[in-house]
């Protein structure tokens, strides 16, 4: 069965996933449109380079399309896409860092004094930090792991169990990070925070 684009909006994620695995392009496009913004938000929390994040998402969906016949059932398509994208994003970020490091070594060694990409990134980071001072102050109170877990829980809507499966942490460790992170944020800003783990 091949769907039209208008029909796909009535289908659940799991139904679209199964149709996509059978080669339905409309189901594939619908999944892409449904989850692009969520994956984009997740990616831009780990890198400020928006084009890089967009490229990673497109590469990820291209990979899914090319390997659709080897993909299994997904009880939670959202969880599957976030956890799979997370792995691919981190691998891509690591490759990108290695390439930039080599390029900066080359430019410093062969072209004399050049503006280092790392310095440009730091300057941009400082400008962004000034614009979002309150948020940065609050988030800086958290460990990187707490920050990631809170994002997955409250912005991406994953359950503690799904967060554990995504990050490789035990359920109890996830709950502990959530509680400790919220405790730190409440101490800093008790009036504006009303989340619950």
**In what helix (H) or strand (E) does residue 187 lie, and over which residues does it extend?**
helix 171-188
Residue 86 contacts by C-beta under 8 Å, 6 or more apart in sequence?
42, 166
Range 133-189 classified under CATH 1.10.10.10: yes
By CB atoms closer than 10 A (0-12, 13-18, 19+), residue 145 is middle
pTM: 0.53
Residue 141 contacts by C-beta under 8 Å, 6 or more apart in sequence?
184, 185, 188
Token output for 142: 């958290």
Instruction: pLDDT tens for the chain, 197 residues: list them.
Output: 555 555 667 789 899 999 999 999 999 999 999 999 999 998 888 887 888 889 899 999 999 998 888 888 888 889 889 988 988 888 888 877 766 555 554 444 444 444 566 766 676 666 555 545 655 667 777 888 888 888 788 767 788 888 888 888 899 999 898 888 888 877 776 544 444 44
The CA-based dihedral angle spanning residues 37, 156, 137, 186, taken in that order and rounded to the nearest 10 degrees: 150
- What is the distance between the alpha carbons of residues 17 and 15, in angstroms, rounded to a whole number? 5
Question: Which residue ranges make up each domain of the chain?
Answer: 133-189
């Amino acid at each position: 069965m091949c769907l039209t684009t208008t029909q796909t909006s009535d289908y659940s994620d799991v139904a679209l996933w199964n149709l996509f695995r059978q080669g339905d392009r409309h189901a594939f496009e619908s999944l892409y449109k449904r989850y692009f913004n969520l994956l984009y938000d997740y990616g831009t929390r780990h890198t400020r380079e928006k084009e890089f994040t967009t490229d990673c998402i497109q590469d990820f969906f291209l990979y899914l399309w090319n390997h659709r016949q080897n993909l299994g059932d997904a009880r939670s398509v959202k969880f599957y896409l976030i956890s799979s994208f997370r792995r691919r994003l981190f691998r891509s970020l690591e490759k990108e860092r290695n390439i930039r490091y080599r390029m900066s070594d080359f430019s410093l060694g062969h072209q004399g004094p050049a503006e280092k990409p790392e310095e440009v990134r730091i300057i941009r980071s400082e400008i962004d930090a000034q614009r979002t001072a309150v948020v940065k102050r609050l988030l800086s109170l958290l460990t990187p792991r707490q920050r990631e877990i809170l994002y997955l829980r409250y912005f991406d809507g994953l359950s503690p169990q799904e967060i554990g499966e995504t990050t490789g942490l035990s359920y109890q460790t996830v709950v502990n990070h959530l509680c400790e992170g919220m405790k730190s944020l409440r101490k800093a800003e008790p009036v504006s925070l009303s989340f619950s783990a």
